[in-house]
Amino acid sequence: MSNTAEIKVDGKCYELPLVEGSEKEKAIDIGKFRAQSGIITLDYGFKNTGSTQSAITFLDGEKGILRYRGYSIEQLAEHSSFLEVAYLLIFGELPSKEEFESFKDEITHHTLIHEDFHTILEGFPSAAHPMGVLSSLVTAMTAFYPKSMDPNRSWDEVRLSIIRILAKLPTLAAFSYKNKIGHPVMYPNNKLDYCSNFLHMMFGLPSQDFEANPVVTDALDKLLILHADHEQNCSASTVRIVGSSQASLYASISAGINALWGPLHGGANQAVIEMLENIKADGGNVEKWMDKAKDKDDPFRLMGFGHRVYKNFDPRARIIKKAADDVLAALGVNDPVLDIAKGLEEVALRDDYFVERKLYPNVDFYSGIIYRALGIPTEMFTVMFAMGRLPGWIAQWREMRENKEPIGRPRQVYVGKTERDYVPMGNR
């Protein structure tokens, strides 16, 4: 195979290097093309353009493959834990037992947040969306940890910033929930594991001991694993481009939280449940809503369906769908929206519109059904996605920093007015 590609423009041929990754993916490196030709490439939404070479996550949209640092999500979801996967994504290898125990101990002993966060929390109206609160609180971490503002400090100090955000995000999320519902916050309990501690902070009450249901903690841990990274998705790309200006880790993560909030991205898990509730309230007529989803004049989209990369199935959706059945059965929950979701999937999988466009359930289609069964409020669903995605964002930010990648600054093709002279207001 040649290691170059040729682009011919106005009879002139430009030779460009070909890059091949460890999974034999190929890319044309256009880094020098503009300098040689004065021409740029254009690709709305970067649908066909790579922004980097990354060693973190590999996915194959045709085969439904997703691997973190070479390990399949099927194996990690079955045998690993979220904290172990976080270590794998951020440091590149699975930890030894000693490394993991030390990492877990560090996380456990950084879960508290400064008491002054309560002043910030109390400033939010109770109607504030948890994602807006969370991104604000993560940015506020720069105020409490001013050394975190400089990403060029020693690795030990950057590592401490990483440990702090991993440890404190669940606390920030749970405290904001308690503040929203007017309940007293539940402080982290160092005797509990990551998921149990989060559930304790979310649903515990001062007047009673909290006993986490292992079915719930296992399901939550699995969901966090399945959300942990997804290569150059919208929010990870946001984290990388904000971090490329040498903004702090916390500023970059806060930007990622805001990108994830959108209903076309992580906000879809909340939109799916709201959609399913609407369909249920409308009598459960699945065919009617499928027709709306196919109608170009109707803004309604089937939330939780379709994906930029997966064109056969989202491997995470398969695992989550099975987990939804298992968790609801184990908890004795009979949620009618699960049946509506399955009905939509069945109809879509044999509908030409969806089959031709390769639209299948994505990670967000079934996850909300489990979150709801776990007692997580709908407005917190995307916060759960952010908690899961945090180690991925950190890994992506770290890779961009350590590869010394340049500040992200795309080009454009100008289509506005050509040069014209100013006309004084009285003469217009």
Give the span between the Cα atoms of 159 and 222, in whole angstroms: 25
Tokens at 18, concatenated: 């070909």
Write the CA distances from 322 to 176, 319, 330, integer angstroms.
31, 5, 12
Task: Quote the Cα angle for 133-138-144, to 5°.
Answer: 120
The answer to whether 265 and 419 have CB atoms below 8 angstroms apart is no
- Name 342's Cβ contacts closer than 8 Å, sequence gap at least 6: none
- Closest approach, Cβ 221 to ligand SDX, in A, equals 18
Among 62, 357, 403, 410, binds ligand SDX (CB under 6 A): 357
Among 104, 110, 159, 265, binds ligand SDX (CB under 6 A): 265
Taking residue 51's Cβ as centre, other Cβ atoms within 10 Å add up to 17
Subset of 271-300 contacting ligand SDX (CB under 6 A): 293
Closest CA to 155 of 163, 167, 146: 163
The answer to whether 83 and 100 have CB atoms below 8 angstroms apart is yes
By CB under 6 A, tell whether 305 contacts ligand SDX: yes
- Find the catalytic residue in 221, 230, 307, 335: 307
Backbone angles phi, psi at 391, to 5 degrees: -60, -30
Element (H, E) at 366: helix 363-373
Burial tier of 110 (Cβ tally within 10 Å: 0-12, 13-18, 19+): middle
**Can 295 be counted among the known catalytic residues?**
no
- Closest approach, Cβ 49 to ligand SDX, in A, equals 14
Q: Considering only 91-99, 122-130, 139-147, 354-362, which stretch makes contact with ligand SDX by CB under 6 A? A: 354-362
Give the span between the Cα atoms of 303 and 308, in whole angstroms: 14
**Can 307 be counted among the known catalytic residues?**
yes
Among 268, 273, 275, 376, binds ligand SDX (CB under 6 A): 268
Among 167, 302, 324, 390, binds ligand SDX (CB under 6 A): 302
Give the span between the Cα atoms of 181 and 183, in whole angstroms: 6
By CB under 6 A, tell whether 258 contacts ligand SDX: no
Q: How many helices (H) and strands (E) does the chain have?
A: 18, 6
By CB under 6 A, tell whether 301 contacts ligand SDX: yes
Among 178, 230, 321, 372, binds ligand SDX (CB under 6 A): 230
Q: Which residue has its beta carbon closest to ligand SDX? A: 306
By CB under 6 A, tell whether 303 contacts ligand SDX: yes
- Closest approach, Cβ 36 to ligand SDX, in A, equals 31
220 versus 302: smaller Cβ distance to ligand SDX: 302
By CB under 6 A, tell whether 363 contacts ligand SDX: yes
Backbone angles phi, psi at 4, to 5 degrees: -135, 160
172 versus 359: smaller Cβ distance to ligand SDX: 359
Among 108, 171, 362, 382, binds ligand SDX (CB under 6 A): 362
Binding to ligand SDX by CB under 6 A, coded x per residue (else -) over 27-56, reads: ------------------x-----------
- Closest approach, Cβ 364 to ligand SDX, in A, equals 5
- Name 184's Cβ contacts closer than 8 Å, sequence gap at least 6: 178, 205, 206
Q: Given the rule CB under 6 A, which residues bind ligand SDX?
A: 45, 230, 233-234, 264-266, 268, 293, 301-309, 357, 359, 362-364
Provide the annotated active-site residues. 307, 364
